[in-house]
Amino acid sequence: MMNYQQTLEYIHSTCWKGSRPGLSRITELLSRMGNPEKGLRCVHVAGTNGKGSFCAMLSSVLMTAGYRVGMFTSPYIENFTERIQADGRDISPEMLAKVTEFVKPFADSMEDTPTEFELITAIGFEFFKRMKVDVVVLECGMGGRLDSTNVIDEPLLSVITGIALDHTEYLGSTIEAIAGEKAGIIKKNCPVLFGGADEGAAAVIAAKAGEMNAPFRRTDREGVRILSCSKDGTRFDYGGFRELFIPLLGLYQPLNAANVIEAALMLRTRGLRIADRDIRRGLASASWKGRFEKLSERPLVFFDGGHNIEGVTAAVETVKAYFRGERIDLISGVMADKRYEDMAALMAGVARKVFTVAPDNARALDAGKYAEVFRSLGVEAEGFPSYDEAVKAAIADSERANVPLLALGSLYAYAPFKKALFAELNAKNE
């Protein structure tokens, strides 16, 4: 039997092709496996931003209501096993190896071999079947229509959290085109929730829902009333719910929570027993890494995985609200295929000094080039070859200036940033 390391090497093996949208390979693979997805009840979640937070909060609500819940998300933040969870716990390394060993011969025997994401999707479905979960909260990897998770026939609910310009090389160059791809998860007669603000996207999604005879609902974003926000969480009202609390930070999280509330109410119409108290308690106990997460109190350090215009805008607005006009230090690393100049312009509105790094990814933007962008905007910036060096310099500077430090950018930066941060804090305390 493969061990955990051999399992990861197989999954990440160079024989697996990159992103190739289409359902033929995943359909064939699952068919060879006996279609483990057929018996699963899924909440299918697409969208540009907010998917992970939505999945985490909805899973918490469903578990509070007494259901066994599977959750499939991507990318992972620190450990690969985070991508596949049951009852709030990551798949164990031993179980991942066991399920992968079951899937491997079917994948290897295919003439058109699966991509890495298709393989992981198949592993997830098989795991959820074995764990006999009641509901799977299933996040799309990218897009929707041709995403490998879109093999499910009749979801309990299809959710599109919001639409923004991202992955345009695959999904289209306009909001409406991207909305069309995301709307591809809508199935005949299965209800749809749209949580975004864009009216053009809403029109496309509503039209698709109408075509599929799928009941369509929008989250009332204007109905979210934030009562208080602090470094420990946010209190807000929504609809008939008063004084709700979420421990997740960021001004955008109450909007994600409102989507979860609407989803829970819609799931009631699908036969799930979810009481108002389950919604309240589930939201209050939810956790999710990498979204304006406070990693240290002294010094005050946060991480936010805003990696596109919408995400960075939300993070910057949160900084303005939390720190009331105070400029803060930033560590940032981004992918070269993102609109990094526009994102830098947004960050420049709150940045005192920026420490740039290139995340460990082939698509990463050079740290020196990124620093030049900030300097052209009138913000002091310096590029660093590693997170260890960037964090050391940033911590020293933020403590000297007595300002908060925010790491903002690619989720690929989370693990190396957190490791470097704790190593630096431990060294300072010795």
pLDDT of 170 reads 46
Q: Is the pTM of this model over 0.85?
A: yes
As a whole number, mean pLDDT of residues 403-427 equals 92
pLDDT of 174 reads 86
pLDDT of 173 reads 65
Strands 224-230 and 84-86: unpaired
Q: Would the pLDDT of 16 be above 50?
A: no
Question: What gap in Å lies between CA 163 and CA 183, rounded to an integer?
Answer: 10
Domain boundaries along the sequence of the chain: 4-284, 293-429
pLDDT in tens, 220-277: 999 999 999 888 899 999 999 999 999 999 888 999 999 999 999 999 999 999 999 9
DSSP secondary-structure letter at 366? Answer: P
Q: Would the pLDDT of 219 be above 90?
A: yes
pLDDT of 84 reads 98
Which one is predicted more confidently, 20 or 327? 327
Q: Which residues of 33-60 are buried (b: 16+ CB within 10 A; e: fewer)?
A: beebbeebbbbbbbbbbbbbbbbbbbbb
Q: Would the pLDDT of 167 be above 70?
A: no
pLDDT confidence bin for 344, thresholds 50/70/90: very high
CATH classification (class only), 293-429: alpha beta
As a whole number, mean pLDDT of residues 411-427 equals 92
pLDDT confidence bin for 21, thresholds 50/70/90: low
As a whole number, mean pLDDT of residues 335-360 equals 93
Question: What gap in Å lies between CA 139 and CA 396, rounded to an integer?
Answer: 39
pLDDT of 409 reads 84
**Choice among 17-31, 241-255, 373-387 with the minimum mean pLDDT:** 17-31
**Choice among 23-32, 46-55, 119-128 with the minimum mean pLDDT:** 46-55
pLDDT of 46 reads 95
Domain 4-284: what homologous superfamily? Mur-like, catalytic domain (3.40.1190.10)
Q: Would the pLDDT of 165 be above 80?
A: no
Question: What gap in Å lies between CA 372 and CA 359, rounded to an integer?
Answer: 17
pLDDT in tens, 279-323: 999 999 999 998 899 999 999 999 998 878 888 998 999 999 889
Highest mean pLDDT among 121-130, 197-206, 317-326, 339-348: 121-130
- Where are the strands (E) in 231-379, listed by range? 233-238, 241-246, 293-296, 301-304, 328-333, 351-357
DSSP string for 57-92? HHHHHHHHTT--EEEE-SS-SS-GGGGEEETTEEPP
Strands 405-409 and 328-333: parallel
* Mean pLDDT taken over the chain: 92
Contacts of 111 (CB under 8 A, 6+ apart): none
Element (H, E) at 315: helix 309-323
pLDDT in tens, 179-217: 999 999 999 999 999 999 999 999 999 999 999 999 999
pLDDT of 338 reads 84
Q: Would the pLDDT of 400 be above 60?
A: yes
pLDDT of 207 reads 97
Q: Would the pLDDT of 169 be above 60?
A: no
pLDDT confidence bin for 379, thresholds 50/70/90: very high
Tokens standing for residue 274:
């979810």
User: Could you identify the residue written with the tokens 């693979």?
Assistant: 29
3-state SS class at 421: helix
As a whole number, mean pLDDT of residues 8-34 equals 82
